[in-house]
Structure 1
Amino acid sequence: MDTSGMYVGLDIGTTSIKVIVAEYLEGQLNVLGVGNERSAGLSRGVIVDIDKASEAIKRAVKTAEEKASIQIHDVIVGISANKLKIEPVSGMVAIGDQAREITDQDVRDVAAAAIIQNLPPEREIINLVPDEFIVDGFDGIKDPRSMVGVRLEMNGMLFTGPKTIVHNTKKAVEQAGLNPQLAVVSPIAQGLSILSDGEQDFGTVLLDLGGGQTTAAVIHDHRLKYAEVDPEGGDYITKDISVVLNTSLENAEKLKRNYGFADSTRASEDNSFPVDVVGQSRPTDISEQYLAEIIEARLLQIFDKLKAQLAATNALTLPGGIVLTGGVAALPGISDLVKEAFDVTVRVSIPDQMGLRHPSFTQALSLVNYRGKMSEVDLLVQSAVTGNQQLATHVVKQVAPQPAESQPTPERPRTTETRTKQPKKRGQGIKKFFSDFFD
């Protein structure tokens, strides 16, 4: 595992594009600079206009470069889980007629053997994650290098996505003058970064409430096992507010950020605020509770659809419950609403870095953290996917040893209380879940 390095995480979201430059020293993440710009060219989490998206990426990167006093070349970019396919794969290579030490190239070769398959023309490999290596029948090996053997095998998980999504993302990054050195399925990076060891091991649902879409991912046994994406998110809430209150989208977004509650029972009917209504010369007073009812209605619609998908796999019986992240997770009362909708324990994940204490920064931070925690074997295996023989250790070049500027304060960072309750009897459900789905 890398103990030091400087990396750049690029989160291309529907609402905003975030770039985080961070130094990974002895397992500790030190943020050096942040870029946060409004997105363009995206719809429901997918790039639909490469030119506009690349220009927005350039603006975010430029801001991060100025803050960190560095020049950015290589980035770790997140890929959405839209129509993600996860499947187990295995490969085997002969080391030679006589036993010899296994090398880096042997690891690359066995990884390449594992991904030799007839992929449909519309799909592309994003990540290959090794589970174990087997040397001459001895299994459970994490790093086979320097061991002696005549046959090397690897079992792992292959993650593929629609070629359109993967290509457009990488193309927009390249058009912005950057090298997408490493692409990572977003929930994989988030699961490793924001879930505790126990949550990753025993099973947890990671619910990313983004601007353009909502992603429910199941992490179990330290692996991403399932992902479901609903193409609705914070932008849909904004549009609902705009339509119901007959106000502009810009005003609707401000109302959501400044006065919005996810749980209408926590909003006050007595507190009101003025709203500029189209066609009226004077503002109209709207109650806090009425606004919350608009927000709550859309959220419950999203949750109902995801609940049906998660219930079909018994994911809601996992002991880790639900962990919330994404910009919409900053809405007050969100944990109470999710707890009521899914009937599981809930907590909100908020980064603890100064200036980034808002759930919308989780993804960009997770990308940097994921790269910092990748072992040498992980990098060798991934290089078989990318064709890059050696993923660089350092992804940015420092221009001047100037101190980092203070980090920007995110918009309306509000504390969301997390209340949990003891899970109900789940023993039988967990056993069934393990036998029916993951195993």
Structure 2
Amino acid sequence: MGTTSIKVIVAEQVKGQLNVIGVGNVRSKGLSRGIIVDIDQAADAIRSAVDQAQEKASIEIKDVIVGVPANMLKIEPCNGLITIDESSREITDQDVYDVSSSALITNLPQEREIIDIQPEEFIVDGFEGIKDPRGMVGVRLEMRGKVISGAKGIMHNIAKAVSKAGLNIVSMILTPLAESHEILNDGEQDFGTILIDLGGGQTTASVTHDHQLKYVTTDAEGGEFITKDISIVLNTSMENAESLKRNYGSADSLRASEDRDVPVDVVGQSEQTIIDEKYLAEIVEARIDQIFGRIKGQLDAIDALSLPGGIIITGGVAALPGIVDLAAEKFNTNVRLYVPDQMGMRHPSFSAGLSLVSYYADMSEVDMLSRSAVAGSMTVVKKSSPDQTEVSNNDVSRNDAKPDKKQRQTEKKKRGEGIRKFFNDFFE
């Protein structure tokens, strides 16, 4: 759900290949700078986008995966610890869920809500670097990772709008996290890369390193501000300004032509005014340069621009010609553009939506179990074949487990160290 458009993507996974079978794309209502400001209007727009996707995919949509914006986001380290009840017992799904739950024991401010937990490694009896501890035998199970939290009001409004549209949320996924998974290759995720999503209402920059989302920042300006600049400078309507930006706009005034005429419908005049393409590019470039300047300041503060992966840009504004050259000059690093290669979606504005379905489809069983601790009900995952995953959410009753209530209480006392002090260096 973006400031300028709401997109619904229906995909199916066949033999490991994700195929898009339906897309809905409507103009946003009730959103400003990436967040919902009118729940009823947003619900209407969501319903319209879903109707489009249903018609194209020939299916009924009831359950959805929803992207969460990066506004007011915090990424903090977390540790979890449990003791296995029987020394000879293998570690199970329940233990992975329990150790993830213990990592969530923290005193969050009342206005914040946990969005996600990202396991980095599990430790069994002191042996580190384990990605999936299930099936191993141990007495002590630890988990180290990151916990991601956001503003409770933003999360509530998203859930309320989707619910009013008649839909059930299966999972809420942080959009920059999904995009880093879809857009960055293995080397870029490992050595460190910056992803900049140039949206309509805001710009989001995220940093991924060691296959973990380390840092996210947002700038409260995006493509709509470029449109407003064009409207004000050229004294034309917002609709005409948007058309000028899309049809003639460029982010690099040095490459724009002074010989190419651009007709402008000026408010209060019966005849069009003619400007050159270079003048329009100067208006566009000025705003993008300001956005990049503020983002660069945030990235310089954590030394992110020294990462070897450089910068990848995407989002609707990234479709402007010359954007890569301007970014490379401003950030003084290598820059590339990402455009989805799915048929009918070969535009950077579809990156976020496509990333959400791809991320969820590729989510490991361990990740699902850890994420279910956030919801408070364990996700039981059974893969019947390499291409099919069945997921069900079930409330976990502590009375169903072997240990009695007293043993559980003793175990809880031994759990976790809670959230450690917020790390200063994101790349240690």
TM-score of the pair, normalised by structure 2? 0.89
Instruction: Determine the structure 1 residue equivalent to 2:318.
Output: 329
Instruction: From 127, 138, 150, give the equivalent of 1:161.
Output: 150
Find out whether 1:30 has 2:19 as its counterpart.
yes
Code of the residue aligned with 2:70 in structure 1: it is A
Instruction: Determine the structure 2 residue equivalent to 1:261.
Output: 250
Instruction: Determine the structure 1 residue equivalent to 2:57.
Output: 68
Per-residue CA deviations over 1:81-117 (Å, capped at 9, x if unaligned) read 1121011101111211433111111111111100011
Instruction: From 262, 273, 276, give the equivalent of 1:284.
Output: 273
Gaps of 5+ in 1: 1-11, 396-433
In the TM superposition, 1:189-338 aligns within 5 A as 189-338=178-327
In the TM superposition, 1:34-433 aligns within 5 A as 34-390=23-379, 393=389
CA distance in 1, matches of 2:329, 2:161: 40
CA distance in 2, matches of 1:137, 1:346: 41
- Contact preservation (8 Å) 2:78, 2:145: yes
Per-residue CA deviations over 1:60-82 (Å, capped at 9, x if unaligned) read 01100110011111111111111
Code of the residue aligned with 1:13 in structure 2: it is G
- Contact preservation (8 Å) 2:63, 2:169: yes
- Contact preservation (8 Å) 2:215, 2:426: no
CA distance in 2, matches of 1:144, 1:206: 31
Identity between Structure 1 and Structure 2 (%): 65
- Contact preservation (8 Å) 1:181, 1:391: no
CA distance in 2, matches of 1:371, 1:43: 26
Code of the residue aligned with 1:296 in structure 2: it is E
Please give the secondary structure, in 2, of the residue aligned with 1:300: helix
Code of the residue aligned with 1:105 in structure 2: it is Q
- Contact preservation (8 Å) 2:66, 2:172: yes
User: Post-superposition shift, 1:164?
Assistant: 1.2
User: Post-superposition shift, 1:389?
Assistant: 2.6
Per-residue CA deviations over 1:153-204 (Å, capped at 9, x if unaligned) read 1111100011111111121111111112111111110001011111111111
* Aligned residues: CA RMSD: 1.5
CA distance in 2, matches of 1:28, 1:194: 16
- Contact preservation (8 Å) 1:96, 1:151: no
Find out whether 1:438 has 2:427 as its counterpart.
yes
Code of the residue aligned with 2:100 in structure 1: it is A
Code of the residue aligned with 2:29 in structure 1: it is A
CA distance in 2, matches of 1:369, 1:212: 24
Q: 1:189 to 1:48 in 2, by over 3 A?
A: same
Structure 1 residue runs of 4 or more that deviate by more than 3 Å after TM superposition = 391-395, 434-437
Which segment is superposed worse, 19-28 or 209-218? 19-28
CA distance in 1, matches of 2:144, 2:155: 24
CA distance in 1, matches of 2:424, 2:268: 60
User: Post-superposition shift, 1:135?
Assistant: 1.5
User: Post-superposition shift, 1:390?
Assistant: 2.3
- Contact preservation (8 Å) 1:55, 1:176: yes
- Contact preservation (8 Å) 1:260, 1:332: yes
Per-residue CA deviations over 1:194-250 (Å, capped at 9, x if unaligned) read 111111111111010000000111111111101110000000000000111111101
User: Post-superposition shift, 1:391?
Assistant: 6.7
- Contact preservation (8 Å) 1:91, 1:110: yes
Please give the secondary structure, in 1, of the residue aligned with 2:204: strand
CA distance in 2, matches of 1:259, 1:156: 46
Per-residue CA deviations over 1:391-427 (Å, capped at 9, x if unaligned) read 78469xxxxxxxxxxxxxxxxxxxxxxxxxxxxxxxx
CA distance in 2, matches of 1:187, 1:302: 18
CA distance in 1, matches of 2:176, 2:115: 13
TM-score of the pair, normalised by structure 1? 0.87
- Number of residue equivalences: 390
Code of the residue aligned with 2:188 in structure 1: it is E
Instruction: Determine the structure 2 residue equivalent to 1:402.
Output: none
Gaps of 5+ in 2: 382-388, 392-422
